[in-house]
Amino acid sequence: MEPRPGRAAWPLTCLLLLALRGGPGAGAPRPGQDFELRQPQDKVSVMAGETLTLNCTTSQGGPVGAVKWLKGWGSGNETVYGQTGSFTRVMRAVEGSDTDFTIRIRDVHPEDAGTYYCVKFRKSLLGYEVFLRGNGTEVSVRAKPTTPVVSGPGRRVGPGQSVPFTCTAGGFFPKDISVKWLKNSAPVSAQQPQITPEWMKSSYNMSSTVTMMLQEDDVHSQLICEVQHPTLTAPLRGMYQLSSVLRVPPRVRVVPDPPSPVEVNKTVNFTCHVEGFYPGEVAVTWLENGTEMKAENISGPVKMQQGLFALRSLVEVQATEEKNRSVFTCRVVHDAQDPVDRSTTLWITTPAEKKMTDRLQTDNSLLIYSVVGVVCTVLALLVAAILYLIRAKQSKGKSSPSARLHEPEKSSEATTQESDPNNLTYADLNFDRERKAVRRMVEMSQQSEYACIQTSQAPASDDNLTYADLDMVHLSKAPRRPAPCPEEAGSEYASVQIPRK
């Protein structure tokens, strides 16, 4: 079938028109070839809670497609802002602009930290694909730590016990943080804080522990955890009252008035003093021989100056004969702890027993006085006797003669004569003239020879009396020495010869 005239001319006409308009294949520029996208910020730091501004501008024209902001790149990216859709905290800086795609993110959270990209998309056969993207802006969010919280043990403890306390704070960035502990105003040593990242967040948590030994006067004490961070102009403080974990048990005593023994039918007031306890929760009951009795007067706890509490409980008892030797007990239960019991016994006396008791007390007093008098007399006699003996000894020492014994030095010749059986032993005596009764005494021993020398019958004048007493005199075995010449004045010289036994 032959073609109709004129139909072959239409394709040639279309090609001619395309060539004249500069269509594809004729060297015309492709769409978006001169398109530019500018993302000037490399790094941005912002405080948590503030507004983050991310800048992005483009040139006019470009392929068909939207401009979006993405957080992160790759499979895990997140669309922060797009030209379509709803975004709660994100808005355009210039609404409706075709070239300014700057966005603002309100109330920034620490988890908003990351890298943000401004991206131009274009339409393709498969949908939309990335046409051009910026270099990315790295965003860091500086976050202040939360107010420190100090926690203690879950139960009360008594004075002298060591307990741990923990300080925690979180949600801060960067990681650098310091912790200081104080008791009132005095520093307390503690362990290094433990810093860990928060789960799925770009912030950190901190935990610090300190061990304290509690004292009675810690009722008013305060434990302080002080945290310092680069985002803070002044440190944050967490406080803990040590009274919330302290328990001070009471001191309990029972005082009878009047004290036992008491006369029959007298009224006795038993007072239970409960002192120095904390906290103020306390219960007081009275027991008579193990049976609970009613207390007439129980005062409420009174806070003392040091912060501890005290109270008194009074019970009146009629001292009848059947109550003699009854045991009255004050039972105190403090802060739901084990009870504390303090007891006293009521002793009752009849008038006759009282007189006998008074008489016994009087007799005992007289006996004590008598014993004290006898002891004092004996001590005085002993002191007098000692003084007399000391004085007698002193007077005897002044009147006794002095005797000097001279033992000749042993010579070598004397040494050689020791074995001679005919050897004689001599003693030289020098003594002063002095009046003294003559004593005669001869004693024998294996190691000493004794002699008592008396002159001939004493003349009428005592001045001519010469005597000497020899006691335990060691006699020299040296050869006999001649008498000194001239003789010493005021002395008699005697040479005694004693045959060896």
> Where is average pLDDT lowest: 33-42, 233-242, 425-434?
425-434
| Confidence band of 369 (pLDDT split at 50, 70, 90) | confident
E-strand spans in 5-155?
37-38, 43-47, 52-54, 57-58, 67-71, 78-81, 90-92, 103-105, 114-124, 127-133, 137-142, 149-151
Tokens 């879950």 locate to 154
Report which of residues 146 and 446 the model is more confident about: 146
Please classify residue 90 by burial: count the beta carbons closer than 10 Å to its beta carbon, then call 0-12 exposed, 13-18 middle and 19+ buried: middle
What span, in angstroms and rounded, lies between the C-alpha atoms of 355 and 346? 19
Given a cut of 70, whether residue 318 has pLDDT beyond it is yes
Reduce the secondary structure of 105-149 to three states and give it as a string.
Answer: ECCCCHHHCEEEEEEEEEEECCEEEEEEECCCEEEEEEECCCCCE
CA angle 310, 315, 316 (to 5 degrees): 145
Instruction: Give the strand pairing for 403-406 and 348-349.
Output: unpaired
Q: Which fold has domain 251-349?
A: Immunoglobulin-like (2.60.40)
First-to-final CA distance of the chain:
193
For 37-142, give the CATH class: mainly beta
Q: Give the position of tokens 């060591």.
A: 162
- Report the distance separating Cα 111 and Cα 198, nearest Å: 10
pLDDT grade, residue 445 (50/70/90)? Answer: very low
**What's residue 355's pLDDT?**
56
Tokens 């007698």 label which residue? 392
Q: What is the mean pLDDT of residues 430-439?
A: 45
Q: What is the DSSP letter of 193?
A: P
Of the pLDDT bands very low, low, confident and very high (cuts 50, 70, 90), residue 213 is: very high
Confidence (pLDDT) at 373: 86
- According to CATH, the topology of domain 149-244 is Immunoglobulin-like (2.60.40)
- 204 vs 470, residue with greater confidence: 204
Instruction: Report pLDDT digits (tens) over 118-163.
Output: 999 998 888 889 999 999 999 999 999 999 999 999 999 999 999 9
**CB-based contacts of 56, cutoff 8 Å, min separation 6:** 37, 38, 39, 67, 69, 100, 101, 102, 103, 118, 134
pTM equals 0.57
- Domain residue ranges of the chain, discontinuous segments joined by +: 37-142, 149-244, 251-349, 351-400, 401-501
Residue 2, classed as helix, strand or coil, is coil
* Half-sphere exposure (Cβ direction) of 293: Cα atoms closer than 13 Å: 20
Pairing of strands 204-213, 114-124: unpaired
Distance CA 211, CA 191 (A): 9
Say whether 251-349 and 149-244 share the same fold.
yes
Give mean pLDDT, residues 320-342. 94
- Token pair of 184 as six digits: 């009132």
Dihedral through CA 78, CA 82, CA 86, CA 87, nearest 10?
Answer: 50
- When mean pLDDT is compared over 125-134, 348-357, 407-416, 425-434, the highest value belongs to 125-134
Give the per-residue pLDDT at 83: 81
Q: Does residue 360 have a pLDDT over 70?
A: no
Distance CA 47, CA 203 (A): 12
| Cβ atoms within 10 Å, residue 423 | 13
Give CA angle at 276 (271, 281), nearest 5°.
Answer: 85
Task: Look over the chain and give the mean of its residue pLDDT values, rounded to a whole number.
Answer: 78
> 32-36, 68-72, 200-204, 378-382: which range is least confident on average?
32-36
